[in-house]
Structure 1
Amino acid sequence: MGARGPVPNRDVDLARPRSRKGADQQPTSKGEMKPVRVPSADPDWHPIACRLWDALKTSGQADFYQNSDWAFAFSLCEDLSHYKRSGKRSGQMLQTIYSAFERLLVAEGDRRRARIELQEPEPEETPAAVLAIADYKKDLGLTEQTPRG
């Protein structure tokens, strides 16, 4: 999915946009995202595989996952669980599993190679809870009124 080599800098860390650096910009083919159903984790998985599955569901890159990505992640968690439970472990097998997780952009470096950056949510001016309470008070006629005098 992403390029090989060192992890690229974040866009905010660049002195100028990548498009101005003369890099070849490949056009992006676009398709329509389909509704997604995230399967439940297999209760028989190793605890580490379950924890990874739960983390995938709540991570920012999951916004881009489609059903095929979830099926692939499910298969990898199954493989990871089998690996973790096996008495004989192979470094090559673990590397193969980790390499496959790179395709799902699990780690930040993998996402940056694919030019995907997850941003902190913008802070709200006034928290929604404060606005909701103010609206309730207004509806109930409990808003503070300035004394006339």
Structure 2
Amino acid sequence: MGVRGPVPNREDDLARPRSRKGSDEQETKRGQMRPVRVPRADPDWHPIAKQLYDSLKKSGQADFYQQSDWALAFALCDDLSHYKKSGKRSAQMAQTLYSALGNLLVTEGDRRRVRIELQEPEEETTSASVLAIADYKKELGL
């Protein structure tokens, strides 16, 4: 299933991994991620466009964004700002903007359709051996 169709279940909700289901999915091609410079939001943008752009910087899918993704996000937020500020709004323009934002994986449903799931960060735990060594040092006065 690609970008269309119903939102797939989370991997954790499946009885077995997708890789074992024997589907005809293509193997993923891999490339090299490049350093990214995130452009600043335009201070003249509509507040909703600024909020959306700033939220993209803090969201988990930003880990996958490259320079072209940020350029598209900037352009879409600029268009969204013009749309929100205009006195005359068009349903077609709104649909176009929200559809394009879906290509940036803005919502969980968008991400799940392309098999990206954001997980809660794991809590850092200190191993028992590290704690034991610290206790020994403390007892020895080191």
Query: Structure 2-normalised TM-score?
Result: 0.87
The number of residue pairs the alignment matches comes to: 131
Task: Give 5+ residue unaligned stretches, structure 2.
Answer: none
Q: Which residue of 2 aligns with 1:91?
A: 91
Q: Which residue of 1 aligns with 2:38?
A: 38
Q: Which residue of 2 aligns with 1:75?
A: 75
Larger radius of gyration, structure 1 or 2? 1
Give aligned-pair identity as a percent: 73
Q: Structure 1 residue 25: deviation in Å?
A: 2.5
The answer to whether residue 52 in structure 2 is matched with residue 52 in structure 1 is yes
Tell me the alpha carbon deviations over residues 34-65 of structure 1, each in whole angstroms, 9 at most, x when there is no partner. 10000000000000000001100000000000
Query: Structure 1-normalised TM-score?
Result: 0.83
Tell me the alpha carbon deviations over residues 94-143 of structure 1, each in whole angstroms, 9 at most, x when there is no partner. 010000000000000000000000011111115xxxx9xxx9xxxxxxx8
Q: Structure 1 residue 145: deviation in Å?
A: 4.1
Pairwise CA RMSD: 1.7
Give, in whole Å, the separation in 2 of the partners of 1:117 and 1:31. Answer: 20
Give, in whole Å, the separation in 2 of the partners of 1:32 and 1:4. Answer: 27
Equivalent position amino acid for 1:54 in 2 = D
Give, in whole Å, the separation in 2 of the partners of 1:63 and 1:74. Answer: 17
